[in-house]
Each structure stands twice: as structure tokens, then as C-alpha cells.
Structure 1
């Protein structure tokens, strides 16, 4: 086993493993009637607790500041109701965190996908493009054409047979105007 280096993988693994531990701790409490306290800190430093009874009561008892409460009989429905409420609240909070993490992943993937679509705009089938997007494609094409023509100008020695204009394609010409400043005034 080795430490996970990639942060997104680390967060995903932490969430999955944390859920698994919550589940096992809950099973231990349910099956044996144990009192369990579980505290973990995420890689980001956020703390998570799961316990029965409350984490504070367990910590105080561990530190010797509080005596163990006498075990209530299973007939006492309030104890089990409170335990179930705490369990459901913790499960709810954990699921909320998982949803938030999945939403972050969704946003990141959508941005990545959008970037790939923008990078491959020239591969789109024009017949399937909406009107608003056609304008964007036209602008992108014009910008690309200008960049290509500028690069071509740098690479190809200009022919000055057209008063400073250079043919860049069969129907496009780039013209430069040179102004010489004279010192005669």
C-alpha cells in the first residue's frame, strides 16, 4: 500500500473509505451494543465523528471525567430513537458531502469537456450547429485565419510586386504601409 499522490483521487478514496468505516462502526454498535467513538480528519483538515453515545460523552469518559452511564434496558425506546436519529443525521451529512464532491467532479468534467469541444470546433458538422453557435464558429474561424496568415507572412518572403501587398491565398491579400519619417520637417 502506498500513499495516493493525486489530490482528486485522494479525496475520492477518503470519502469511500470513510463511508465504509462508518458502516462498520454502525454494525459494531448494532450487533454488540458497544459504545464506539470514531474521529477522523480529512486531507483538507476537516474533522468527522461518528459515535454512540455522543462523542463528547465518550471523550469525557475516556479522559476519566465522567462515569459510565448505567445501561438502559432495550425497552427504553428513547435511547434507541436517539441513536437512530444520530445515525441517520450522520448518514445524511455523509451523503451531502458525497453529493458535493460529485457535483465538483461534474463541474470539472463539464469544463474539461467544454474545453475539448472548443479545441475541436473545426471538426463540427456545420449542418448540426445552431444559429448562435454559427456566429461563434465564424469568429473562431476568422481568428484562426488571421493567425495562419500572420504566420505565413513571417515564413514566406514577401513579394513586393503589388505595392507592399502580399498574396496569402487565392483571394486574400495582406498589405503593409511603411511610413518613413523624414527629418527635414
Structure 2
């Protein structure tokens, strides 16, 4: 590796890589269960830090290794406990969020299936289908009679509009093969 000479290019490179660096640090911390810190002083003057559990703990550890007394030893231990608690709470909330998201997906899929079943049930309940399924002979005769009456009515109206036998009497229907009582004549028309 070599240093990027241009300040602008160096800054751009860092900002492009920053998210990846922090992501890798998170992965190392999670997979190895270690404490880690990362500190960068860019030329812009704003330091970029990442630390687990906290930057204060990392600074105190460096001071201890150099022979200095850490500032606020009790505060640092309390701070690390607070950070650990925050981390645990964040993990619990993230897990709950994932569980709720999965539950929502399952509920949406269940709703879609119920809507599809309802549509299928409505299609099955349409009257043409019910005539074919489990209809007894009396009901079938009643429906047949209704169709014959409907046919008489429509034939009469059609004859009136065509101007043939303008009174729409049943004699015109008898000529076409229909008889009283809804029964077909000798030609048995349906």
C-alpha cells in the first residue's frame, strides 16, 4: 500500500471506505467477542472514532500500558457496564424487530391466502355451479320451470318487437312448440 498523495483524493478514499471499515470492526467484535477501537485524525481536523465498548476504556487501557493512572477508574467500569447494557438492549430490540417483521410477513401471506379462498368460495357459490352439485329432482324441476317461464316471457317480447302476432299471446308460442305448464310439446325443446 502506498499513501494517496492528493489531500482531496485521500479524503474521498477515506469517506468511501469508512462504512466498510466500521462494518469490519463490528464483525470482528461480534465474532471474536473482543474490545476494539479505531481512531483516525484526518487533515480536516475532525477525528473519526469507533470503539467497543467505549473510547474512554480504550484510552484508559493505553494510559495504563504507558504507566499512567487511568482517570476515573470507577467511572470507566460503570461506563463499560452501561455500554454493555445498551448493547444488550439494542440486540434485544433488533431481535424483536426481526421477529415482528417475520410475523408481519406471515400475517400478510395468511391474509392473501384467505382472500384467495374467499374468491374461490364466491365462485363456487354462483348458481350455475350449484345446479351441478347436489341438487335434488324437485329443485331441478323448479329451476327448469323458471327457465321455461323466462323463455316464454322473452319470446313474447321478441315477437312483439318483431311485429309478429303483436298481442304476444301464447298461440304464437304454441306455434313454436311450447305448451302450457312449461312442458315442451312433441318436439321436446329445451
**Which structure dedicates a bigger proportion of its chain to strand?**
1
Larger Rg: 2
TM-score, reference length from structure 1? 0.37
Structure possessing the higher relative contact order (Cα contacts under 8 Å, 6 or more residues apart): 1
TM-score, reference length from structure 2? 0.36
**Which structure dedicates a bigger proportion of its chain to helix?**
2
